[in-house]
Structure 1
Amino acid sequence: MHLDELHWFVVLAETEHVTDAAAELHISQPTLSRALARLEDEVGTPLFDRVGRRLRLNAYGEILLEHARRSLAEMRSASERIAAVRDPDTGTVRLAFLHSQASWFVPDLLRRFRAEAPRVQFALIQGAAHDIVDALAGGRVDLAITSPRPDGYRWRGLYLERLCLAVPRGHRFADRARIRLAEAGDEPFVALAPEFGLRQLTDELCAEAGIEPQVVFEAMEIPTMEGLVAAGFGVAVVPVPRSERAEPGAVYVPLLQTSAKRQLGLAWPADRPLPPAAERFAEFVIRQAHEDT
């Protein structure tokens, strides 16, 4: 089983379309089809169900995909470790991070680290917590700055964010110094989609407060939530923003619940060693968090 063909299989599994996969891989469709046939012959079973002109990864294919991603990640890690022994100041850090950390926290970390290790490269993925866990599991990234703590991964907490209730300017709660979430039980809510970590935390806070919020819009990013709050669509539970990042049309009222906070942390796989560059960056991030507290 050649590594190139294993990579081709992963791309085909992700696109589920021979034409698209071949175009992405810059190979011909017959070459890809022959490689898939050899792979299926080697494992002894079809890996896809054919549905019209498309492919659908089946249960056997799902198993192979999991192991293929892991194998490719291991080989990439080995190559990087060898390169790091030859030249310790180089390498690539594959890092995933939450959308909400893209405007200041992660860029500031990268800026400070690059001053210390200017020849280390970065491959960055920005996404939601569930996408980040998938990227870690599939070996597409080595490290993740995320929340909440994912099960089954090594973890180091970096800092806590207090949560607040964002309301439009002129709202009945806008002049409050603090508020109990239960008081907003009859308000329309703007929230993230259910699979997002912050939405899950919001649901837990609402259950703790004894309310069932009416969610009128589900957004994909916190700035969208804040913009809709400013436009009067509803209220939202969001992290207390830095002053320069606050939405001008919204007021941020701190929540009284002691559990109204989320911890951001660094996660990495427990079942494989980090490449040297990623290990160096992880040590830097943890050291910076310690110095900043």
Structure 2
Amino acid sequence: MLVRDLEWLVTVADLEHVTDAAAVLGIPQPTLSRAVARIEAELGTRVFERVPDGVRVTPAGELVVTAARELGARHTQLVDDLASLLDPDAGVVRLAFLDSMAGLLVPRLLRGFHQVAPRVRLVLRQEPAHEINVDLTSGAADLAITTQQDGLGWRPLLAERPVLVVPAGHRLAGRKRVALDELADEELVTVPPGFGYRQLVDDLLRSAGIAPAISFESADLGTIEGLVAAGLGVAIVPDHLAGASGTVGITLAGARVRRSIGLVWRTDRELSPAAARFRDFVVS
């Protein structure tokens, strides 16, 4: 089986049609059909079931296609890693970052780095903290902009202060400060359980002895601020998001917690020259 075959399998699986997949790949349809048949013969299983309107992935084929995606991604990463070693001025940096940093910190850092290293390519992964940790462990990310993690290199970049955001016209909109216990009867928009920011919000509310009803959950803090602006509840978000969609930000009295955000990287292995260059740029 060729590395090229992996892309072909994934394309057929995504489009569920051999002719359409051949057109996308720019190859004759008989060539693709023969390749699929050859792969199925080599694996000893049917990857696709033929149906009147195309093909469907079989249960065994699900395993094959999943592996093809992973192997294809690993091959791409290998090529990128080799490019970084051969030419550090034109290598690849794989950077993961928290959703909340997408509109604030990350664009500023990327703009500055691109000015000094225009030939370095950055592959970006915007995701929650627990997925960032997985990517750092697996090597899918070289560096990340997230909260501080034990055992990783660390450079703090900013400190987020949680604030309350309410819709314009809300009963609290004219206030400068609000006590947490005043939110007991409010509907809260927040991130789902399992996210680091949800733990921060839950701890704050627990310290005030309240458990507001949850109206909506979203993994993206920017979306949460927009839902509040639409009148779907109130939320506790990082201060830099307050007012982005017309909400009103209010200081939380007694909430002294801060969430430190910074650059992290693994110290148990050497960064590629391009990734080390990005780290050194950020640190400096």
In 1, are the aligned partners of 2:97 and 2:146 still within 8 Å (CA)? Answer: yes
Root mean square deviation, CA, Å: 4.2
- Give the C-alpha shift of residue 187 in structure 1: 0.3
User: Which of 250, 254, 269 is 1:252 aligned to?
Assistant: 250
- How far, CA to CA, are the matches of 2:132 and 2:70 in structure 1? 16
- Deviation track 1:52-87 (CA, whole Å, cap 9, x = no partner) reads 855346467447735x45544444344334434443
What are the ranges of 5 or more consecutive residues in structure 2 without an aligned counterpart? none
Give the TM-score, by structure 2 length. Answer: 0.72
Which residue number corresponds to residue 291 of structure 1? none
- Give the C-alpha shift of residue 273 in structure 1: 6.7
Q: Which has more radius of gyration? A: 2
Q: Report the CA distance shift for 1:228/1:86 in structure 2 as closer, same or farther (over 3 A).
A: closer
- Tell whether 2:241 aligns with 1:239: no
Matched letter for residue 41 of structure 2: D
- Give the C-alpha shift of residue 212 in structure 1: 3.2
Which residue number corresponds to residue 116 of structure 2? 116
- How far, CA to CA, are the matches of 1:29 and 1:195 in structure 2? 46
Q: Report the CA distance shift for 1:265/1:49 in structure 2 as closer, same or farther (over 3 A).
A: farther
In 2, are the aligned partners of 1:97 and 1:144 still within 8 Å (CA)? Answer: yes
Give the TM-score, by structure 1 length. Answer: 0.70
- Tell whether 2:256 aligns with 1:264: no
Q: Report the CA distance shift for 1:205/1:58 in structure 2 as closer, same or farther (over 3 A).
A: farther
- Deviation track 1:252-290 (CA, whole Å, cap 9, x = no partner) reads 3236345x44443446689987543234323433x14xx
Q: Report the CA distance shift for 1:284/1:30 in structure 2 as closer, same or farther (over 3 A).
A: farther
- How far, CA to CA, are the matches of 1:56 and 1:217 in structure 2? 35
- Tell whether 2:53 aligns with 1:55: no
- How far, CA to CA, are the matches of 2:179 and 2:279 in structure 1? 37
- Give the C-alpha shift of residue 90 in structure 1: 1.0
- How far, CA to CA, are the matches of 1:123 and 1:161 in structure 2? 25
Which residue number corresponds to residue 175 of structure 2? 175
Task: Single out whichever of 260-269 and 166-175 deviates more from structure 2.
Answer: 260-269
User: How many residue pairs get matched?
Assistant: 280
User: Which of 268, 272, 279 is 1:282 aligned to?
Assistant: 279
- Deviation track 1:155-208 (CA, whole Å, cap 9, x = no partner) reads 64644322122123553375243532x431210122345575534543454455
- Deviation track 1:81-102 (CA, whole Å, cap 9, x = no partner) reads 4434443311233334333222
- Deviation track 1:228-253 (CA, whole Å, cap 9, x = no partner) reads 4344432101011178x655441232
Q: Secondary structure at the match of 1:238?
A: strand
- Give the C-alpha shift of residue 12 in structure 1: 4.6
Matched letter for residue 254 of structure 1: L
